[in-house]
Amino acid sequence: MLEKKILVAASIFAVALFGVIALSVRLFGIDLPTCLTDVRPFKDAKVIEQGPKRYEIHYVARMWKFEPANVTMPPGSTADVYVASADVTHGLQIIGTNVNLEVVPGAVNFARVKFDKAGDYLVVCNEYCGMQHHNMAARIHVSEKSVAPPVAAASVPTSGSDLVAKYACTACHSLDGSPMTGPTFKGLYGSKRILADGTTVTADEAYLTESINNPNAKVVKGFDPVMPPMPIPPNEVHQIVEYLETLK
């Protein structure tokens, strides 16, 4: 009978699906984010160094910041990320990693992440949480040095490429044309950009300056509005744009 055949087919499909899930968990370590119900919600943010290259970060999300705002660890470190909310629902996403947690009041969510590559990793809120939602961000500095790179620029002359490295632009923008979290820098200057609303702009100095200062004003089609506004002084923005012009 037809019903029987459908039932048998569905059962085989279900068993195969469980097999694939079991395989991906065992062989590739792909796992679902775990909601740790046995961790009590906390109010104090902290970073615990559990051992060499083993860290535990307790993030507290509140309107409109993450604490701790800056965490530094050497490349190759594994971090256990716990996050609790001090007020409303937020989202914690670490750009360039698989970490994307819902931050729910009264619960603690957890993710484990390994930072193989040095760089600045942005921690952003991806759940609308009020007026300053788009400014809600923190950083994880993955570098050999135990000191965080300075955020404010001293009046030392630097090149545009130094600035791109300093502000960790390449954590999300490639220099060789490959797509990452954000559009590649290669060939960007002077190109036509199609925006999320279907309109077209030219990536000239004015557009690039705006996109650094206020990234979500004109988001390119196909990309998420996840870049936080960068507090970069105008003279440095100009240097960065001049550098982008050289990346044909």
DSSP bridge pairs for 208: none
The smaller minimum CB distance to ligand CUA, of residues 138 and 164, is found at: 138
**x/- string (CB under 6 A) for ligand CUA, residues 73-112?**
-----------------x----------------------
What's the first-to-final CA gap in the chain, in angstroms?
65
Confirm or reject binding of residue 232 to ligand CUA (CB under 6 A).
Answer: no
* CA-based nearest residue to 168, from 99, 82, 70, 235: 70
Per the CB < 8 A criterion, the answer to whether 202 and 154 are in contact is no
Does residue 122 bind ligand CUA (CB under 6 A)? no
The whole-angstrom separation of Cα 165 and Cα 197 is 31
Q: Report residue 83: phi and psi, to 5°.
A: -140, 135
**172, 220 in Cβ contact below 8 A?**
no
CA 150 – CA 68 distance, rounded (Å): 16
Instruction: Candidates 20-28, 30-38, 70-78, 128-136: pick the segment binding ligand CUA (CB under 6 A).
Output: 128-136
Selected from 25, 35, 128, 204, the binder of ligand CUA by CB under 6 A is 128
Q: Does 13 bind ligand CUA (CB under 6 A)?
A: no
Q: Is the peptide bond before 64 cis (omega within 30 degrees of 0)?
A: yes
Q: How far is the CB of 34 from ligand CUA (least distance, A)?
A: 22
- What is the x/- site pattern for ligand CUA, positions 37-76, by CB under 6 A? ------------------------x--x------------
State which amino acid sits at residue 46. Answer: K
d(CA 164, CA 167): 5
Nearer to ligand CUA (CB atom), residue 73 or residue 136:
136
State yes or no: residue 123 binds ligand CUA (CB under 6 A).
no
The DSSP secondary-structure symbol of 219 reads P
Whole-angstrom distance, CA of residue 30 vs CA of residue 175: 29
Residue 215 Cβ vs ligand CUA, minimum distance, rounded to whole Å: 15
Query: How many chain residues interact with ligand CUA (CB under 6 A)?
Result: 9
Residue 120 engages ligand CUA in binding (rule: CB under 6 A): no
Q: How far is the CB of 62 from ligand CUA (least distance, A)?
A: 8
Residues that bind ligand CUA (CB under 6 A): 61, 64, 90, 125, 127-129, 133, 136
